[in-house]
Every structure is written in C-alpha cells, then in structure tokens.
Amino acid sequence: MTAAPEILSLLKSHFGFDRFLPLQEEIVTNVLAGNDSLVLMPTGGGKSLCYQLPALAMDGYTLVVSPLIALMKDQVDALRVSGISAAFVNSTLSNQENEGVLRRASEGDLKILYVAPERLTTPRLRHFLNSSPPSLIAIDEAHCISEWGHDFRPDYRNLKILRIEFPGVPVIALTATATEEVRRDIVGQLGLQDAGSYISSFNRPNLTYTVKPKQQAFGLLIELIGRHENQSAIVYCFSRKETENLAADLSSNGIAALPYHAGLEPSVRRATQDRFIRDETSVIVATIAFGMGIDKPDVRLVVHYDLPKTVEGYYQETGRAGRDGQPSECVLFYSFSDKIKQDFFIRQIEDNDKRRHAAEKLAKMVEYGELRTCRRRFLLGYFGEEWKSQNGDGCGGCDVCLAVNEEFDATEIAQKILSAVLRTGERFGASHVIDVLRGSKAKRVRELGHDQLSVHGIAAEKSADELRQLFGLLQDAKFVAKSPGEYPVFLVTRAGREFLRNRDSLTLARPPRAEEPRSRYRATSENGVFEYDHELFEQLRALRTRIAKVRDVPAFVIFADATLREMAYYLPHDGDAFGAISGVGATKLQQFADEFIGVIVKYSSQRNLSQRDSPGHRRTSRGSPSRNRSSSNATLDATRRLFSEGCSVDEIAHERSISPRTVFGHLERIARSDPGFDLGSVMPSPDRTEAIEAALRSNESGFLTPTKEALGDDYSYEEIRLVRLQMERDFEKAEA
Ligand code: ADP
Ligand code: ZN
C-alpha cells in the first residue's frame, strides 16, 4: 500500500520526513481507509506518527488516550512546534483550563486531543464526546488494558465504551509489548473489528548489548558514563537505598547524578524527571519505577547495576535507550550473587504458582547473563521472534558477537568438573559442585560428606566465577545438561561420559579476560553513523538548548539529535538546503532556520567549509537538484534586479508574490555571496542600528533569540538579522 502524494507532503511539511519508517505507510493507509488497526512496534519504531499523520489528513479531531499524564505536555509541545494544533485534558490542569481545551475542540480548533483514561468516565467528557465525536480514536500504550501486561491500568477497561458509543469511528491501538496473551486481550477488550494487525520486528539495531561481570563495577560504571559525557544515561538498581547510595557516590566523583524511586515525594520525582528531560542532569540512578513516564529520545546509555527480575523487564528498560535510532549502549552488570539475592525475595512469595512463575522468569534472566551466544538473538527469541543476522556473522552489536574468542586447552578442568558432577550424584546445581571443587568447608558440604570425596578441592585454584563460566561452556559443548524446573541440577550427558572414558582432549573457546578496546563497542550498526562535525554539532546543541529554555520546552522538541547531526554534516547555508534536512518541516524551517543557519555559516566560514549536497532522494519531491539550484538562482536574480531598481522589500514581495520574509532572505543570501552588494536602503536607521549592535555585542553568542528578548517587541527579527549580517560583513572586510 502506498500513500497518496498529499500524505507524503504532510509527512514532509509537518514532520520533516521524506520517507516512512517500516510499516508506517501501511498503517497510515489502513487508518485513512477507516479500518481498525493494531500496532505492535518496539520503542522508537515511530508509533506516534501512525495516528498523528492521519489526524492531520482527516477532518475533525483525533482523540488520543494515554496513561502517561506526565508526557502529555511534552507531546503536545512537540506537536505545536511542528505547527499542529494539539492540547490535553488531564488532572494537571485546572477545571477552567480543561474546560477551555474542550471548548476549543468543539469549535473545531484542535487536530489532536490527548486525554487520560480516567477522564473518559466523567460526565463532562462524555457530554463533550457525544456532542463532538472524534474522527479517529488512538489508544496509546494499549497493553495497559491487559492484566497479563506488566502495567495493567484498571481505567483502561473503560475504553470499551468508546467502541460502543462510536461504532463508526476507526480505532488504532498501539503498544510496544508483544506477547500473544496481551495482543489477544487488546483486540477483545477494545472490540477491534477486522483490525489490520501490524507487528514489526522487535530488533533494535541501534542498541548494543553488553554484559560485564560485576567486579569493580563502580569503576567500570564511571568509565562508561565518562564515555557518554554530556549524554543522558539511566542506571537501574534493585533497591531504593542503592539508588541513593550510588547517586551519592557518583556525585562525589564529579558526575551529576540524581536518584529516582517511588519512595520520593511526588514533587521531587517530577523535578528530577524535568531536569533529566531538559538535559540539566545527565545521569539518573533509578529503580524500575523510572521510565514509564519518560519519553526522552536521546538516552545513550542504560546500565543495569543489578540483575533484573525478568527478561521482559530488561528488554523494556533497555528499550529506553536510543529511541531516536542513534547508536546507544545497554550494559548489564552480572553476578550470580545477585541471583541469590533475588531468590530470597522469590522464596517469600506464598502462592505456589506465582512463586514458580517468578523463579522461571529469573532463570531466563540468569541465562541471559551467562549467555555465550548472541544476546540479541536470545532477547528476540524470548519474544518468539526468530532472528538471524544478515551476513550470518553475528549481530555485530553484542559483546558476544563482537568478542574474538580465545581458545584454550580445557581437557583437565573438564575432567575435574564432570567427575565432580558424577561423584556428587548428579543431584546438585552448579553452586554446590563448585563449592566442592574449590574445597569449601561449608556446612552443607560437610553434612553431605562431600568434603570426604576425592574431588573435594581439586580445582581450588580456580575462582567460582571462572568455574561457573566453564560449566556454561561444557553445557554448550553438550557434555553436561541442566534439568528443567525450579531447582535445576546438572547431569553428565552420554557425550560427557564418553569424553571421560576415552580420555579425549578438549579445546574450548571463551572471551578474552582483559578489557576490550573501546572501539569494539563503538563499531555498532551502520544506523545513523556518519562523519559529521562534532564541534559544530555541540554548537548546534547549545543553540537548541537556549531556544528550548526560552520557550520552556524540552530540547528535543526543537530538533532531534539525528537532525542536528545531519546539519553538522551537510552544513546547509540556505533555507532550501536547510529544509531538505530530515526532521525539518515547514513550521520548524520558518521558526528556526535563521538561527541554525547563522551558526552553521559562521562556523563554516571560519574553517573554510562549504555546504555539501544533500542526497538526491531528498530533493525528488521538489524537483531534481540541478533544476532546484538554477531556479533558486533565478529567483535571487529577480529579487536583486528589483532591489537595484530601487524597490522596497514590500514592493518586491508584492511584485513577485512572495513574502517579505523571503525577500529579506534573498537579500541576505545575495549579501553573503557578494561583498560589494549594498544593503543600504533596507538597513534600519542609524540609532536603531546602534541599539541592535550593542545588544548583539553584549550577548557574545550572537544568537538572535536572546538579542530579540533584550531589545523588546519594538525591534523585528529581520532588523536584527540585517544588522548582524552587516557586522559580519564589516568584520570580514576588516580582516581582508
Ligand atoms: P515510539 O512511540 O514507537 O517509541 P516515536 O513515535 O517516539 O516512537 O518515534 C521514534 C523516533 O522516530 C522519533 O524521534 C521520531 O521523530 C522518529 N520518526 C518517526 N517517524 C519517522 C520517519 N518517517 N522518518 C524518520 N524519523 C521518524
Ligand atoms: Zn550478537
């Protein structure tokens, strides 16, 4: 299914994208055809666009139900910055404010209305919905409807009424949780009819998965965070106390980190989230309570300092890294003693079924920690997705696939381990056998008489961790097998017995023990990696932060990191080139092009860099690159001719049917490329010029927004830009 050209042009004009991500096009088309849709995509898959784009294309407004009250404001801010009228109704607003929003909606003034699920049962909202029915209903985080999900919200059960009361309105349900049970529940509970089902791969190609032994973990953590300096990181811990201790330790090592857990005052929690979202604190040390309300696209590092309880949880938490598709890292610190710590809590569970369930889930997590095959394949396999690497050469993005294994002679140690398993009667898990091998005098060893066995202490020189790793390798080699169940024991297989009997030799391979060079972990997927100018990127980031502060919105609402990287690569010098950058839509072009181009042009001229042609496909919707170029030169020439004939900006605009802003833009471009071009007649009066110059000088960044604020409403952006341009030209002349 391909979308109509109007839809593609909305995609560019409002969201700034030239192409759809996988499945988006099919989903949008299905929604616009009036059908129900069920969308299962991992975090970062681009779900929001699946209802936001149809919302723009349809008459009336789209109702979005979301449990994430804390996120609504950011989502709405982001839509508004993209020129889409949106608002939300929830408990953070006063009655009067909510009322105002509903009034705007009924007057047809809104395209997208977010509501919290509990609102739907209030008489006021029912009345509103009945008098102004939506054109499309989107249910975000749809798994919240299912008791099988990890995040059941009783209020979601009320969503049934939407289908009953608005049988003709298409519904789109979206979630990043993929289990079969949950999927069935969503369809049943919401009463979806003949819903198109869209399930994308849950692979997150931009994430790298690494497991580190939990030894000297703190030092490693500092190094990891250091590698991601000035980038957002989340460190997950098991308990509230640990989050506080670890955050304090990091702080005393000069890393600004804040703790986050459910025991903190709501106001403190909110402040911490805000600081994180607004890039004022880069590291959050949290229990799993942190995350549900976080939609930060540029988290670059997620560390699990302690072992998670389930693979579902682990996948979900690591999923918060790299939503924007840029390379990001997920690191688990693994130790078996963490498993034992968790066992303690599992044993307290009274219900037999629930206890067994919890133990099985934990066992899978332990398996992940001890895995010696591709971690990505394991994670996806856990969710029923059979994943194969493209080149058959591993995923290229997990420590196992990236490590070059070292071979070693394992004959003797394998004989010792297998003998110990046999001598202890094949009735124990690895821990006990390891105790025996290392010569432990623990009570249990003595009680069982295992300190009397010939194998007691025969591998005393090995660490418990190394022996545990060897158990794993022997399991891979199918010399031992683990029995299923809550208390697995190791058995020696037929192959293992033959190995002992025949006195064969054995070579095994394991990852080298020394720390690997960093670059190994850097070499992740191709996704989004190209050689942009890092210094310029930082300058653009700084500009973005300033603009975001002035507008009181999170920085990513202005532009995503990926968009800034493209700018720092293509170095767009004019509006056309700037508009061709992915992530720059018409509204953002109009609002931000000048300031960003200003920084880029300045930076490029200092270093003698010139604009790079953006890839051809970006231009295809607007004509070929060459045509584009010649037509824009023709348009500059036309403006120039009229200007030199003495026409004013307004006259030129009128004559040429373009906006005065565009005329200013043309004049600027001409002035930049031609040092002899005289701007004289459009320059502000001398005293105004002087005031603007003073304001520009007193804010050394030369940014427009703060300058405009200092000068007040009496001065226009155009005037400030002209004066800034004139200053730059004077400066260049003086230099020359
Ligand atoms: P999800 O809700 O599935 O986690 P989002 O809707 O937040 O994902 O989108 C993830 C990221 O992908 C956002 O940064 C978004 O701007 C970007 N994105 C969405 N659609 C496209 C597209 N067609 N082209 C490029 N980037 C896109
Ligand atoms: Zn792998």
Q: Other C-beta atoms within 10 Å of 452: how many? A: 9
> What's the CA gap between 16 and 345, in Å, rounded?
49
User: What spacing in Å lies between the alpha carbon of 512 and ligand 2's midpoint?
Assistant: 16
Output the pLDDT for position 386.
Answer: 86
Output the pLDDT for position 722.
Answer: 84
620 or 454: whose pLDDT is higher?
A: 454
Summarised one tens digit per residue, pLDDT across range 138-161 is 999 998 898 766 678 888 888 988
Nearest alpha-carbon partner for 384 in 208, 179, 536: 179
Summarised one tens digit per residue, pLDDT across range 244-276 is 999 998 888 888 899 999 899 989 988 998 889
> What's the CA gap between 466 and 231, in Å, rounded?
34
Among 70-84, 323-337, 660-674, the least confident range: 660-674
Output the pLDDT for position 514.
Answer: 40
Output the pLDDT for position 624.
Answer: 31
* Residue closest by Cα to atom 27 of ligand 1: 46
**Average pLDDT, integer, range 591-597:** 93
Overall residue count recorded for the chain in this entry: 736
**Average pLDDT, integer, range 404-408:** 74
Any ligand 1 atom below 6 A from CB of 44? yes
- Non-local (6+) Cβ contacts of 730 within 8 A are none
Best residue among 24, 47, 49, 564 to mutate for probing ligand 1's pocket (most ligand atoms within 8 Å of CB) is 49
Q: Which of 59-63, 69-73, 530-534, 653-657 has the highest mean pLDDT?
A: 59-63
**Average pLDDT, integer, range 163-184:** 87
User: What spacing in Å lies between the alpha carbon of 175 and ligand 1's midpoint?
Assistant: 14
* Residue closest by Cα to atom 2 of ligand 1: 47
Question: Which atom of ligand 1 is least distant from the CA of 45?
Answer: 3
Name the helix (H) or strand (E) containing 248. Answer: helix 240-252
Contact 61, 134 (CB under 8 A): yes
Q: Which three-class secondary structure state does DSSP give residue 420?
A: helix
Contact 701, 667 (CB under 8 A): no
Q: pTM for this structure?
A: 0.61
User: What spacing in Å lies between the alpha carbon of 396 and ligand 2's midpoint?
Assistant: 6
Question: Which atom of ligand 1 is least distant from the CA of 582?
Answer: 25
Any ligand 1 atom below 6 A from CB of 8? no
Question: Which atom of ligand 1 is least distant from the CA of 20?
Answer: 23
CATH numbers and ranges of domains, the chain: 5-199 (3.40.50.300), 207-397 (3.40.50.300), 406-510 (1.10.10.10), 517-622 (1.10.150.80)
User: What spacing in Å lies between the alpha carbon of 736 and ligand 2's midpoint?
Assistant: 56
Any ligand 1 atom below 6 A from CB of 561? no
Any ligand 1 atom below 6 A from CB of 49? yes
Ligand nearest to the CA of 207: 2
Summarised one tens digit per residue, pLDDT across range 303-333 is 999 999 999 889 989 999 998 888 899 999 9
> What's the CA gap between 669 and 683, in Å, rounded?
15
Among 25-34, 490-499, 613-622, the least confident range: 613-622
Task: Dig out the tokens for 18 from the structure.
Answer: 């030239």
**Average pLDDT, integer, range 5-19:** 92
Question: Is the per-residue pLDDT at 336 higher than 90?
Answer: no
**Average pLDDT, integer, range 632-660:** 81
Please give, one letter per residue, the 3-state secondary structure of 581-612: CCCCCHHHHHHHHHHHHHHHHHHHHHHCCCCC
730 or 88: whose pLDDT is higher?
A: 88
Nearest alpha-carbon partner for 418 in 367, 370, 373, 475: 475
Question: Is the per-residue pLDDT at 680 higher than 50?
Answer: yes
Output the pLDDT for position 622.
Answer: 29
Question: Which atom of ligand 1 is least distant from the CA of 560?
Answer: 14
Contact 74, 554 (CB under 8 A): yes
> What's the CA gap between 206 and 224, in Å, rounded?
17
Percentage, residues of the chain above pLDDT 90: 40
Best residue among 17, 139, 559 to mutate for probing ligand 1's pocket (most ligand atoms within 8 Å of CB) is 17
Tokens 């046999």 found at: 422
Average pLDDT, the chain: 85
Best residue among 323, 326, 556 to mutate for probing ligand 1's pocket (most ligand atoms within 8 Å of CB) is 323
Output the pLDDT for position 615.
Answer: 56
Q: Which of 206-210, 289-293, 470-474 has the highest mean pLDDT?
A: 206-210
Any ligand 1 atom below 6 A from CB of 20? yes
Any ligand 1 atom below 6 A from CB of 294? no
**Average pLDDT, integer, range 4-26:** 92
Question: Is the per-residue pLDDT at 600 higher than 50?
Answer: yes
Best residue among 20, 25, 48, 315 to mutate for probing ligand 1's pocket (most ligand atoms within 8 Å of CB) is 48
Please give, one letter per residue, the 3-state secondary structure of 599-668: HHHHHHHHHCCCCCCCCHHHHHCCCCHHHHHHHHHHHHHHHHHHHHCCCCHHHHHHHHCCCHHHHHHHHH
User: What spacing in Å lies between the alpha carbon of 214 and ligand 2's midpoint?
Assistant: 20
Question: Is the per-residue pLDDT at 640 higher than 90?
Answer: no
Output the pLDDT for position 149.
Answer: 63
Question: Is the per-residue pLDDT at 646 higher than 70?
Answer: yes
The count of C-alpha atoms lying within 13 angstroms of the C-alpha of 59, restricted to the half-sphere facing its C-beta, is: 3
Question: Is the per-residue pLDDT at 209 higher than 70?
Answer: yes
- Non-local (6+) Cβ contacts of 104 within 8 A are 87, 110
Question: Which atom of ligand 1 is least distant from the CA of 41?
Answer: 3
Any ligand 1 atom below 6 A from CB of 559? no
Question: Is the per-residue pLDDT at 404 higher than 70?
Answer: no
**Average pLDDT, integer, range 477-496:** 88
Torsion, Cα 90 92 95 99, to 10 degrees, reads -50
> What's the CA gap between 546 and 669, in Å, rounded?
25
Question: Is the per-residue pLDDT at 734 higher than 80?
Answer: no
Output the pLDDT for position 521.
Answer: 27
If you write DSSP's letter for every residue of 111-142 in order, what string do you get? SEEEE-GGGGGSHHHHHHHHHS--SEEEETTG
Task: Dig out the tokens for 670 from the structure.
Answer: 């001409």
Ligand nearest to the CA of 66: 1
CA dist list (Å): 302 to 282, 443, 514: 12, 40, 23
Ligand nearest to the CA of 399: 2
**Average pLDDT, integer, range 646-675:** 80
* Adjacent-strand bridge partners of 304: 236, 332
Question: Which atom of ligand 1 is least distant from the CA of 297?
Answer: 14
* Residue closest by Cα to atom 23 of ligand 1: 20
Output the pLDDT for position 515.
Answer: 38
Output the pLDDT for position 345.
Answer: 87
* Residue closest by Cα to atom 13 of ligand 1: 324
Q: What is the DSSP letter of 14?
A: I
Question: Which atom of ligand 1 is least distant from the CA of 17?
Answer: 24
